[in-house]
Structure formats: structure tokens, C-alpha cells
Structure 1
Amino acid sequence: MTTPFASILNFRDVGETINSQMPSRPMLTGRLYRSARPDGASPDDRRRLLDEYKIKTIVDLRTKTEHIQEAKKRDVKAKSSEAAPQTNKQVTEALEIPGITYHPINFNGNAYSKMLIKQLSWSNTFKLIGHMAIGQRTQGIKILGDNVMTARGLIGLAIDSTDACGLEVRQFFELLADESSLPLMVHCTQGKDRTGLTVLMAVLLCGGSVEAAEYDYMLSQKELLSEREERLVEIHSIGLPDEFAGCDPDLVKKVYAHINEKYGSIEQYLEGVGVTRDMQQKVKHNLVAHKS
């Protein structure tokens, strides 16, 4: 599979991908899409998202720091700086595609950040606070990258996100439960880690197999090759090693096992973070193929 866009990487229809791996074809197509950051999409690709794919909603899972860096990189008119940032919504507006409703959900939000910071020594905690206080956000995040995130690895951080990001998971599923939000596209920076985790949860709820979900996740490995060198510069700047630019083939199975062992099932996990059974049924109604 190769992204159909010239300027949007790692784009695909989740339903089509999952159905290609399962004879039962459990998911509706044209409802849930995933991609890498679409900030640099060409005018033609932006038009196609609207006119061809009918995208109504984009869920952006990135942090405010990522938005500020992207705005600076693309020299867009965002009224913000690392030293005096505005709200996340104000920062993201400069990167948005007109005609599509955006929902920024910081998937590495307060609960996740606190969980990482608790693992720092006191001295590194004070260094982190100092960098953040003077607007050196990248340097602050590098302390977490060097001292916590590298050791946890992609799998460890995915499990940490599952446990810590319940609020953000609920916000994502609220949108999936609202038919007026669909078709919906979800992305982070590369469209593989935070995006991969939220999509995995949706696929599992909708009856997709672990093997199909794993296939969908691993597609990002080759879909992102063209920007690997650029991405390595970014991840090295926050203290992360090369492996964070790729996919871990064991991630989906390990996260699935963690959800079942700690919470009992994907349904119980979602209910525990506020995605009620009624909401879960609405998500299934919107994303699951209904057999006649």
C-alpha cells in the first residue's frame, strides 16, 4: 500500500486495510482514516481530502510544542513563540485546512507528562522545570527523552499511554460515536505511535483481529521511509534513539495483552475511561459493516 497523496504521508482508510486482512470484512470503509501530519499538504491534496474523501473532521494528537515547531518550520503566521505560547487551539489554527473541523487532542497531556516526570530524579526535575519556565520546551522534553522515554521504548510508552491517557482516549471515541463527525482522519506527527494506539483501540472494539491491526500498524514502517532522515533529526533533538522513527513488530500484541490482562477486555478498558457501553455501540454502528 502506498499513500494516494503526493504531499501527505502514511495515509490510509483503516476499514479498507483491516478488511484486506480478514475474510469477514468487519469494518465500513470511507469512515475512519489515518495519516502523518498533513500540515504541508499541497492545494490539490487539500482539495482531494475535502472533495474526494469527504473528510469532515481531523483529530490532531500532537503536543503544543510540536505545533509550535511545525508552525516555525513552515513559516506560518502563528501568533506564538516557545517563550509565550497561546492556547493549543490558537497555535494549530495556522496549520489547519479550511473547510475541515479540527479537534486538537494532546495525547501526551497532563496525566501522561506527570507520569513521565515522576520517573525523573529531583535534579532532572528541576532542570526540566527551569527549561520550561524560560520557554526552552525542546530542551525540557530532551531531559525526559534521555532519562525516561528511551528506556521505556516504543512498547513501554504505548502501554504507559494506555494507562495514563484515558481522558484523551474518551475524547477521541466521543468523536467516533458522533456520526456527524465522520468521515474522520486522525494523525499525530508520523501517524504511527499515538495514531496507531487510538486506531488499534477502535479496530479491536469493532471486531478487527490482532493480526489485521498489526498489519495496519506495520504499514507505517515503509510508508514513512521518505522522511526518515528528517524525522531522525527531530527525535534526536529530544533525546530519542533511531528506533523511535520506526515500528516495533511486537507492539500491537503487547498492548493487546496488556489491555486484556489489566482491564479484562477492550470494552472494559474503554468503559473505565468513560466510553460508556452506549457510546461503544454508537462507535460500532458508525464503523462496523452491518450484515444483511
Structure 2
Amino acid sequence: MADTIINPPFTGVHNFRDVGRVINSFSRSNLRIQEGLLFRSGRLDEITPLDAQLMIEKYHLKTVIDLRTKSEHLKRKEVLGLEGSGVRHWDTVKIHFIGRRFEINLIKQLKWWKAIWFILLMITGYRMAAIRIMGRNVMRPKGLIGLSKDSLQFCQSEIVQALEVYLNPQAYPVLVHCTQGKDRSGLVIMLILFILGVPVDLVKADYVLSNQGLERVRASMMDEVMEIGMDGRYLEAPEIVVDEVWKFVQEKGGVDVYLDEIGFGEDKRTKLRTLLLM
């Protein structure tokens, strides 16, 4: 069944799926999500005109949420020689998900001399060399679970920014992506599904589909992952990540308490349910 719900016949888009369709396909309960509204994927930089036509004519895409950092945008511009394919048929909301609070938290975990070296490299424009230092010394040891928990703690304003896009009825259908379409995008989708009352096992069923969604680009992305000081585990989507995110928000008092504290209150959650639940 997974083959039929991820990676439609796109040439330049990977790890794409309709989250509502995925959840409904796996669900055995009465809870149903509107299909054709909630999409996720990897980056769209290499989208082709035919891909864009499919996005518009079949999926009616109106809004894209891009969660990548400034460094990721600069790197893709360097690799491709331009901002992307030039195809622009939808509104794009850029949210630098890895914000200042997250970066400061990471820098604090470097040895002092590595922190100084990191800052000097960033100031002098050697961004990728700086990121490698961070990747090897902090991000890789933390792993996907540690980085997800840090995101929940230090990217709260960015999380709210992303979630609030989904409150505009005119924005739909909405597609959220980062680079792989797995971790930052995965976290936003997890929180949306938690708000909708989707059971954790179904949230995991959606999350792990990224293992298959990334299969055709795994080899090429391995070079990118190594370049930032990470390893092959960064290309995986193990279901334990969802378990640990769920555990984290439960330890904060539950999904509602966590979201209240970061500024996505009950009125907003109710509106989101109204828009996305059948």
C-alpha cells in the first residue's frame, strides 16, 4: 500500500505524500482527516515544469512552507547555480526553523575553543566548515531524538509560525518541506496530528514512510549529510523518534499544555481541527 501513497510520478520531488490519505489508509477508527489538504515532501529546488504542473492540476497546491536554514538555501543556490527551477505557481512561506535560540543552545555545547572557531568561520563566510564542526561535535552525538527534543524546546516561535499557516482556510492545500522532508517537516506534521487526536501508532506509520520516500535519493543525499558532519543515521526515520517526541510533550503536561505554553492555544487548535477533520 505504501507504494501507492508516497512518491507519485515526480522527477524532481522526493518523499512526497498526502498525510490525510496516509492516516485514513491506516486508520481503523472513525477519525478521518480531510484528504488533499495536508502534504509533506523533501525540498522543491529541483522541481521540473512537469512536476509543477502535476502539483497544480492534480494536487491544487496553493502554499508551501519551507523550513530550511539560510545555509541550506545558500548551498542549494551554489549547487544549482540559481534559486531553483524558477517554477513559482504557489505562495511560499519561508521559516528559518533552526533559529537563534536553537543555534545558541548548540554553540553552548561546544568546547570553548571549538565555539570560538565555529563563530570565526561563520563570520568569515566559511559556513559549511562551521556547520561541520557543529555536526560532528554536537548534532551527531545528539542524534535524531536529541535534535527533535531540542527543536521542541528551542524552536517554539518557529513551530508556532508554521502551525499558524494552517489556520488560514485560503492557504490550502499546504505542503511543508525541509531538505529531506523528514525531521523538521516531520515534527510539524507530528504536532498537527497530535492536535487532531491521531493515535501515536498512526503518527508513526506516517513518519516511517520517509524511509521509503527517501530511497531513490539516499545515495546522493549521503554526500550532503557527510558534508555537514553527520552520518547515515541522519537519513533514517525510525519510529522511536515519534515515541520520544510524544514522551517529551507528555512530560510537559501533554500536547495541549505544551502548545498553550508556546502560544498555539485552544482556540487555534479548535480551528485547526475544524479545517482538517472530516
Q: What is the aligned partner in structure 2 of residue 282 from structure 1?
A: 271
Q: What is the aligned partner in structure 2 of residue 52 from structure 1?
A: 58
Map 1:10-49; keep pairs closer than 5 Å. 10-23=15-28, 24-49=30-55
Counterpart of 2:178 (choices 188, 196, 200) is 188
Counterpart of 2:100 (choices 78, 87, 110) is 110
Note the residue ranges of structure 2 that are not aligned, 5 or more in a row: none
Note the residue ranges of structure 1 that are not aligned, 5 or more in a row: 79-93
- 1:99 CA drift (Å): 2.2
Counterpart of 2:157 (choices 154, 167, 180) is 167
Secondary structure class of the residue paired with 1:171: helix
CA contact (8 A) 1:46 1:97 kept: yes
Q: Quick check: 60-69 or 42-51, which moved more?
A: 42-51
Cα distance in 1 for partners of 2:159, 2:166 equals: 11
State the identity %.
33
2:253 is aligned with 1:264: yes
Partner amino acid, structure 2, of 1:113: E
Partner amino acid, structure 2, of 1:122: W
RMSD: 1.2
Q: What is the aligned partner in structure 2 of residue 3 from structure 1?
A: 7
Secondary structure class of the residue paired with 1:177: coil
2:229 is aligned with 1:239: yes
2:145 is aligned with 1:141: no
Cα distance in 1 for partners of 2:22, 2:31 equals: 10
2:213 is aligned with 1:223: yes
TM-score (norm 1): 0.90
Secondary structure class of the residue paired with 2:179: coil
CA contact (8 A) 2:109 2:138 kept: yes
Deviations 1:141-192 (A, max 9, x none): 1111111111101111111101111101110111111111111000000101
- 1:96 CA drift (Å): 6.0
- 1:140 CA drift (Å): 0.6
Secondary structure class of the residue paired with 2:249: helix
Secondary structure class of the residue paired with 1:103: strand
- 1:95 CA drift (Å): 5.8
Cα distance in 1 for partners of 2:195, 2:31 equals: 14
Cα distance in 2 for partners of 1:168, 1:34 equals: 17
Cα distance in 1 for partners of 2:100, 2:86 equals: 24
Secondary structure class of the residue paired with 1:98: coil
Partner amino acid, structure 1, of 2:74: I
Partner amino acid, structure 2, of 1:71: K
Cα distance in 1 for partners of 2:213, 2:60 equals: 23
